[in-house]
């Protein structure tokens, strides 16, 4: 399962600790983390995934050298904010933490692509699944993974 974590690129430590723990749990669940590869939520989630031995893919707006130090696979797109479409298209589930317009664009694109989008912030956007905790968000990811596994087995 590939799980995108989206949220603000500039974040206070309290929220970064949530993103770090989310990245850790994604990796421990055997899933691949996808982010925009820069700072804030993206860096914190990548740090959690990498420290748990997982894979953190960063899909960057410019060159791959701009990736945060915890990204294990950096993809430079040269697309600026257009890379948001690649971030969410690459994911099976998108988990949205609080953010600004970039995060909102990722939410909108993911919903338009019929992705499962988990609200782990205060988005209150129709079509998102509200999670009251990190544990609830991961339950949604695991349920999606089980459904996907059943489909593959036929």
Q: pLDDT tens, 20-79?
A: 999 999 999 999 999 999 999 999 999 999 999 999 999 999 999 999 999 999 999 999
Quick one: CA torsion of 31, 71, 67, 41, rounded to 10 degrees?
60
CB-based contact 94:107 (threshold 8 Å): yes
CATH number of the domain that 103 lies in?
Answer: 3.40.50.450
| pLDDT attached to residue 93 | 98
Tokens of 110: 């993911």
Q: pLDDT tens, 24-37?
A: 999 999 999 999 99
Per the structure, the count of domains in the chain is 1
CA-based Rg of the chain, rounded to a whole angstrom? 14
Domain range enclosing 143: 2-153
User: With 0-12 CB in 10 A as exposed, 13-18 as middle and 19+ as buried, what is 30?
Assistant: exposed
């Amino acid at each position: 399962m590939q799980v995108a974590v989206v949220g603000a690129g500039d974040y206070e430590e309290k929220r970064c600790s949530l993103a770090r723990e989310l990245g850790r749990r994604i990796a421990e669940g055997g899933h691949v983390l996808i982010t925009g590869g820069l700072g804030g939520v993206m860096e914190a989630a990548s740090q959690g995934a990498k420290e748990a031995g997982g894979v953190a893919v960063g899909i960057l707006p410019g060159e791959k050298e701009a990736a945060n130090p915890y990204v294990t696979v950096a993809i430079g797109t040269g697309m600026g904010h257009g890379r948001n479409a690649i971030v969410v298209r690459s994911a099976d589930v998108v988990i949205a933490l609080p953010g600004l317009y970039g995060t909102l664009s990722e939410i909108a694109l993911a919903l338009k692509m019929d992705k499962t989008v988990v609200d782990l912030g205060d988005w209150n956007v129709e079509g998102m699944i509200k999670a009251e905790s990190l544990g609830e968000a991961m339950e949604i990811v695991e349920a999606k993974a089980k459904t996907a596994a059943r489909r593959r087995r036929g």
